[in-house]
């Protein structure tokens, strides 16, 4: 008999016992539908982890029980950071770190060491050192900390460097970078490898979940480090998300491009915050985000697993860090499972689930507002989904004869379209999408006309560089767009042709639309204005048939 998730026994001792029994009685590779998260994850060859704080671990039985029962991977929320382990030079304190490692050992869990080199939670004495002394202190710290657990089978991986980029994808101006230059990263990885040749060594960051300039900078760095034989084995995507900022829809594609570099990827710190107070609609949205994070990892074989940054809203860094926001985890403050728990559970257990073939209801007719020369806002009445997989979002299309190009995707019932052509009539409609990929019937279309471009126009040029390529894909970065005229322009359009069988899988710093093999790239809000000789750039990624070696070449530019 398969128990429904909702009928899972509430008593943890019973749950743990059932989990054990299931291990003995189920064929390898399957997990009972009612089983704890860790059992489903293990059946899929992945870990499901949580960050733990030592305070509640020693004071709260429920915290301890859930941590032990539901998760098979642990990250110390704070006690393996530099300020905990080496508050004064040469004075090491491993008591908190040992508490975490011992708990994991008792409960047959892996430990991911977090973190060796970071600009936060590092004592002032380190920050004030000169370059020679700082490099030495970094190497000593790494060899002491990694070395302590090198022979401990529970500790399998480390975040060697954490958050080395700023939000634009430049190197973060930290005391590490400012004192030692970029070389601190390679030095840190080499020191960690020397201290434990078997540990998996990771670079970890936030806002790198989707394909964007920061994740592309991370991609470039990891590729170049590996070309220099720096031992980077793994990339961590923190995934501190918020329902009001939208889901990074290119998450899975992004994981795939990193996997193509030969590294393991992992979701290291997911939490999905909301503006408090909670309500059932925010909880439902949050659940779809958790589901989609887990699914992205499940879909990529190089993804080792997902760690949630805590598990109960009773103990979370979010309310202290983001005022007005919270409720970011999968259990509430009283240790009750939230819809997000079920979403994680079901996404881990998927495969044996029921097929959802019911599409969402048809969205309302969009209303257009804020129409400019190149952008417009559309809003429509939301759809609902009853098939079980839940509403995932909306695709927005332009009515254009036989194949209607998709202008964008939104996870909410509104979208801001950019990169439109001036003085052009658009007929646009929306289809709702559910978690199983079913599309609703199209809404009625709205018709609007963009305003005249206005302002000066002039000649421009565009040239692209193949930055990297692999068997079945490549990245063009940068495509440099230059104003070649003698007066300013306030918009540009670059067109190019995709070789047969090639398709765009991601782009940044331009709005791309594809029609047949022709791709049109328009400026986005912040890079359309170019003075005489001024230039900007954008980039994109392409997939191509295995073994095909063609790349895009030949770009034409027009303004606006």
3-state secondary structure of 26: coil
Q: Measured between alpha carbons, how far is 205 from 219 in angstroms, rounded to an integer?
A: 12
163 annotated active-site:
yes
CB nearer to ligand XIL: pick between 193 and 315: 315
Alpha-carbon distances, residue 262 vs 48, 223, 233, 369 (angstroms): 22, 9, 8, 46
CB 53 within 8 A of CB 104: no
**283 phi, psi to nearest 5 deg:** -60, -40
269 belongs to the catalytic site? yes
With respect to ligand XIL, which residue has the nearer C-beta, 33 or 52?
Answer: 52
- C-beta of 113: minimal distance to ligand XIL in Å? 12
**Which candidate, 311, 306, 382, places its Cα nearest to that of 340?**
311
Least CB distance to ligand XIL at residue 161 (A)? 11
Listed residue (526, 531, 525, 535) closest to 557, CA to CA: 535
Q: Where does 281-356 show beta strands of DSSP type E?
A: 303-308, 325-326
Query: Closest residue to ligand XIL, Cβ-based?
Result: 317
Least Å distance, CB 103 to ligand XIL, is 17
State which residue, 50 or 162, has the beta carbon closest to ligand XIL: 162
Query: Minimum Å distance from CB 310 to ligand XIL?
Result: 7
Which residue is catalytic, options 163, 325, 333, 452?
A: 163
| For helices 213-227 and 251-259, angle between their N-to-C axes, nearest 10 degrees | 10
Nearer to ligand XIL, 240 or 398 (CB): 240
How far apart are the C-alpha atoms of 131 and 129, rounded to whole Å? 7
Q: How far is CA 514 from CA 254, 277, 363, 409, in A?
A: 20, 42, 24, 14
d(Cα 445, Cα 552) in Å, to the nearest integer? Answer: 34
Residue closer to ligand XIL by CB (options 94, 388) is 94
Choose between 162 and 438: whose C-beta lies nearer to ligand XIL: 162
Q: To the nearest whole angstrom, how small is the minimum distance from the Cβ of residue 198 to ligand XIL?
A: 23
In angstroms, the CA 159 to CA 173 distance is 19
Q: How far is the CB of 10 from ligand XIL (least distance, A)?
A: 28
Residue of 193, 192, 184 lying closest to 131 (CA atoms): 184
Query: Quick check: 376 and 420 in contact, CB under 8 A?
Result: yes
Question: Which residues are at the interface with ligand XIL (CB under 6 A)?
Answer: 77-78, 162, 238, 269, 317
Rounded to a whole number of angstroms, the minimum distance from the CB of residue 78 to ligand XIL is: 5
Which of the residues 77, 209, 256, 269 is marked catalytic? 269
Q: Which is nearer to ligand XIL, 78 or 381 (CB)?
A: 78
Long-range contacts of 388-391 (CB under 8 A, 24+ apart): 388/354, 388/356, 388/358, 388/436, 389/356, 389/434, 389/435, 389/436, 389/438, 390/284, 390/287, 390/288, 390/291, 390/434, 390/435, 391/288, 391/360, 391/432, 391/433, 391/434, 391/435
Provide the annotated active-site residues.
Answer: 163, 269
């Amino acid at each position: 008999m398969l128990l429904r998730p909702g009928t899972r026994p509430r008593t943890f001792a019973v749950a743990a016992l059932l989990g054990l029994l299931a291990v003995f009685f189920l064929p390898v590779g399957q997990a009972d539908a009612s089983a704890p998260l860790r059992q489903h994850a293990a059946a899929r060859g992945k870990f499901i982890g949580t960050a733990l704080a030592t305070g509640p671990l020693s004071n709260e039985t429920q915290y301890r029980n859930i941590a032990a029962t539901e998760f098979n991977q642990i990250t110390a929320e704070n006690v393996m950071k530099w300020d905990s382990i080496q508050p004064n030079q040469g004075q090491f304190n491993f008591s908190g770190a040992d508490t975490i490692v011992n708990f994991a050992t008792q409960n047959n869990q892996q430990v991911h060491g977090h973190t060796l080199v970071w600009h936060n939670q590092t004592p002032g004495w380190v920050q004030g050192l000169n370059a020679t002394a700082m490099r030495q202190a970094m190497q000593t710290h790494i060899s002491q900390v990694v070395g302590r657990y090198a022979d401990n089978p529970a500790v399998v991986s480390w975040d060697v460097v954490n958050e080395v980029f700023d939000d634009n994808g430049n190197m973060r101006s930290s005391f590490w970078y400012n004192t030692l230059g970029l070389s601190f990263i390679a030095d840190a990885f080499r020191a960690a490898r020397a201290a434990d040749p078997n540990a998996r060594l990771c670079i970890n960051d936030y806002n790198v979940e989707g394909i964007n300039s920061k994740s592309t900078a991370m991609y470039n760095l990891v590729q170049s480090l590996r070309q220099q034989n720096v031992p980077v084995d793994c990339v961590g995507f923190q995934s501190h998300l918020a329902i009001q900022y939208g889901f990074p829809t290119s998450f899975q594609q992004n994981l795939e491009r990193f996997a193509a570099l030969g590294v393991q990827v992992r979701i290291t710190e997911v939490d999905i915050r909301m503006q408090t107070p909670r309500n059932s609609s925010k909880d439902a949205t949050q659940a779809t985000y958790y589901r989609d994070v887990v699914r992205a990892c499940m879909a990529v074989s190089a993804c080792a697993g997902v760690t949630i940054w805590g598990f109960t809203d009773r103990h979370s860094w979010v309310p202290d860090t983001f005022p007005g926001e919270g409720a970011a985890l999968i259990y509430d403050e009283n240790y009750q499972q939230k819809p997000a728990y079920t979403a994680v559970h079901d996404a881990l257990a998927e495969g044996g689930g029921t097929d959802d073939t019911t599409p969402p209801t048809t969205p309302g007719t969009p209303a257009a507002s804020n129409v400019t020369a190149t952008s417009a806002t559309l809003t429509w009445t939301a759809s609902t989904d009853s098939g079980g997989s839940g509403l995932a979002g909306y695709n927005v299309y332009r009515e254009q004869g036989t194949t209607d190009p998709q202008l964008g995707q939104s996870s909410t019932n509104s979208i801001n379209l950019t990169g439109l052509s001036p003085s052009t009539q658009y007929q646009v409609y929306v289809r709702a999408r559910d978690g199983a990929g079913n599309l609703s019937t199209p809404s009625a279309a709205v018709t609007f006309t963009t305003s005249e471009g206005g302002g000066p126009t002039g000649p421009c040029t565009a040239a692209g560089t193949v930055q990297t390529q692999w068997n079945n894909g490549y990245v063009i970065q940068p495509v440099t767009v230059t104003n070649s005229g003698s007066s300013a322009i306030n918009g540009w359009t670059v067109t190019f042709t995709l070789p047969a069988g090639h398709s765009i899988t991601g782009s940044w710093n331009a709005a791309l639309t594809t029609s047949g093999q022709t791709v049109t790239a328009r400026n986005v809000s912040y890079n359309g204005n170019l003075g005489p000789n001024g230039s900007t750039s954008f980039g994109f990624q392409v997939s191509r048939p295995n073994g095909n070696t063609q790349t895009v070449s030949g770009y034409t530019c027009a303004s606006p």
